[in-house]
Amino acid sequence: MLKHVSFVTRDLAATLAFYVRLGGVVEKDLTTAEGYRRGVVRLGEGRLQFFEVPGEAPAPHLHWAEHIALHVSGLRALLPEWRAAGVTVSRDLQPSPGGRDMAFVLDPDGRQVELLESGL
C-alpha cells in the first residue's frame, strides 16, 4: 500500500501553498534533526513529502530524499528473499522514526523505494 512519495524542493513554503490550492492539507512543516525543512501534504488518502534543499540541485548525500514509500507486511522475512533475487538493498533494515522496521531498496531503474513494516 502506498504510504507517500517524496521529492526535493527549493522552496517548501511555495510548494506547500501550491498543493493546498489543489485541495491538499498540510500535515507537517518542520525542521528535521539533520536540519532540513520537511513538509507533508495529504491529498485524499495519499501523501506527498517534500524536503527543502536550497540551491540548484540536491546534494549527493540527499539521494534518499526522493523516493516512493510503501507499507509492506513481513519485511524482515521479505528482505532476504529480495536480496537473494538480486534486488539492491540501499539502506538495510533499521527502525523507522516511529519504531517500525524500515529498509530502502532500488527499483529496476535505480529509484529509491522505502519499505515500512505495516504491522498488518
**C-alpha distance across the termini of the chain, in Å:** 11
For residue 16, the surrounding DSSP H or E stretch is helix 12-21
109 Cβ contact partners less than 8 Å away, ≥ 6 residues apart: none
Q: Specify the DSSP class assigned to residue 105.
A: E
How is the chain split into domains, by residue range?
Answer: 1-65, 66-120
Q: Distance between CA 93 and CA 46 in Å, rounded?
A: 24
| pTM exceeding the 0.85 threshold for the entire prediction | no
pLDDT at residue number 120: 57
Parallel/antiparallel/unpaired status of strands 2-9 and 46-52: parallel
CATH of the domain spanning 66-120: 3.30.720.110
Over residues 1-19, the pLDDT tens digits come to: 788 899 888 889 998 998 8
Q: What fold, for 1-65?
A: 2,3-Dihydroxybiphenyl 1,2-Dioxygenase; domain 1 (3.10.180)
pLDDT at 72: 86
Report residues of the chain scoring pLDDT below 70. Answer: 54-64, 109, 120
